[in-house]
C-alpha cells in the first residue's frame, strides 16, 4: 500500500507510515503524493488519476461546467425581468456547457440555459405584443386598427343653424327681426336682410373657433366666427368690394338663443335659432 501523505510504499495491513507517521487506516491526505513515491521507490503511478477522477472513479466537473450551471440558474431566475439581456447570456452558458468535458453538471447547465433563453424570449414576445396592442383602439365590430389612422371625431358645430336676429342694445332685444344668418354644416353661410334674401345678401364661407369661455352663470358659451363673402348684393346690386367680417357669438344651447356682436363695429344682435 502507498502512503497518501509522502508516497512511500508500505506493506499491506501496516497501520502507520514508517517514514512520515501518517495513519494509513484513516488517512488525513486524500490525494496520494505519487511524485514522492516515484522518486523514492521508482514507481510509475500517474497523478492524473486523482486530478481527473473523483474517489468513485467518475469524471469530476471542470470550470466551464460549473460556469454553465451558474449561468443557467441565473438566467432562469432573471429571465422574467431582464429578458432582453438574459438571452445572449444564456447562449454563452449553453456554449460553455457544450464544450465542457464533465458529464453530469454540463447537462444540467445546458438544460437550465435553454430554459432561461426560452422563458426570456417568451416574456419579451408577450411584452412586445402587449405594447403593440396598447397602441391600437378596439372598434365596435371587435376589430383592431391603428389609432394613428383613425379619423378624428368631428367637433360639434354649435354655431350652425338658421338664426333670426333682432337689434340688441344691452338691455334687451328690439321688436322686429332685421337680419337672418344661415350657418350651414358645410361651413357655407348666407347673411341677409330679414325676409329679403334676394335683394340683400352675402354668400360665402365661414370658420369658427371655440373661445373656451362663458358668462358668469355658465349658460352662454362664446365662439368667434369669421365670414368670408363670395357674393355681396346690396339693394339688388352686386357689389364689387370684398365682404369680410368677424362676430363673437355667445350661445345658449339649451334655449337656442345667441347674442352676436360685430367685433369691429360693435353692432349687436339678439338671435333666435329657427
- d(C-alpha 100, C-alpha 59), whole Å: 12
Report the C-alpha gap between 123 and 36 in whole angstroms: 58
77 has which bridge partners?
none
Q: What is the pLDDT of residue 4?
A: 76
* CA–CA dist 205, 48 (Å, integer): 99
Domain boundaries, the chain: 1-52, 63-134, 161-273
Q: The dihedral of CA 13, 15, 19, 22: what is its sign?
A: positive
* pLDDT tens string 183-232: 999 999 999 999 999 999 999 999 999 999 999 889 999 999 999 999 99
Q: Is the pLDDT of residue 32 over 80?
A: no
Give, as one character, the DSSP assignment of residue 2. B
Q: What is the pLDDT of residues 46-79, one digit of tens each?
A: 444 344 434 444 445 567 878 877 887 887 777 7
> Is the pLDDT assigned to residue 268 strictly greater than 80?
yes
Report how far apart, in Å, the C-alpha atoms of 26 and of each of 5, 23, 129, 158, 223 are: 12, 6, 64, 102, 103
pLDDT of residue 228: 95
Task: Summarize the confidence of residues 75-92 as an average pLDDT.
Answer: 75
The H or E element that residue 204 is part of is strand 196-214
Model confidence, pTM: 0.45
What is the per-residue pLDDT for 58?
A: 47
CA distances from 132 to 7, 81, 144 (A): 71, 19, 11
Amino acid at each position: 500500500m502507498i502512503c497518501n501523505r509522502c508516497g512511500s510504499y508500505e506493506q499491506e495491513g501496516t497501520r502507520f507510515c514508517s517514514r512520515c507517521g501518517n495513519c494509513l487506516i484513516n488517512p488525513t491526505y486524500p490525494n496520494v503524493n505519487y511524485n514522492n513515491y516515484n522518486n523514492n521507490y521508482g514507481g510509475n503511478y500517474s497523478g492524473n488519476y486523482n486530478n481527473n477522477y473523483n474517489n468513485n472513479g467518475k469524471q469530476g466537473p471542470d470550470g466551464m461546467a460549473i460556469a454553465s450551471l451558474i449561468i443557467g440558474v441565473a438566467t432562469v431566475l432573471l429571465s422574467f425581468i431582464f429578458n432582453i439581456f438574459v438571452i445572449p447570456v444564456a447562449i454563452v452558458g449553453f456554449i460553455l456547457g457544450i464544450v465542457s468535458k464533465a458529464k453530469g453538471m454540463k447537462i444540467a447547465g445546458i438544460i437550465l440555459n435553454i430554459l432561461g433563453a426560452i422563458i426570456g424570449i417568451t416574456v419579451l414576445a408577450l411584452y412586445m405584443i402587449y405594447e403593440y396592442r396598447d397602441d391600437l383602439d378596439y372598434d365596435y365590430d371587435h376589430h383592431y386598427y391603428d389609432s394613428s389612422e383613425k379619423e378624428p371625431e368631428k367637433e360639434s358645430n354649435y354655431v350652425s343653424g338658421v338664426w333670426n336676429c333682432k337689434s340688441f342694445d344691452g338691455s334687451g332685444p328690439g321688436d322686429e327681426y332685421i337680419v337672418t344668418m344661415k350657418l350651414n354644416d358645410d361651413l357655407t353661410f348666407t347673411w341677409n336682410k330679414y325676409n329679403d334674401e334676394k335683394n340683400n345678401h352675402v354668400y360665402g364661407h365661414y370658420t369658427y373657433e371655440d373661445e373656451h369661455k362663458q358668462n358668469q352663470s355658465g349658460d352662454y358659451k362664446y365662439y368667434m366666427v369669421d365670414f368670408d363673402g363670395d357674393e355681396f348684393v346690396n339693394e339688388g346690386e352686386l357689389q364689387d368690394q370684398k365682404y369680410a367680417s368677424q362676430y363673437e357669438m355667445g350661445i345658449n344651447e339649451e334655449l337656442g338663443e345667441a347674442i352676436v356682436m360685430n367685433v369691429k363695429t360693435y353692432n349687436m344682435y339678439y338671435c333666435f335659432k329657427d
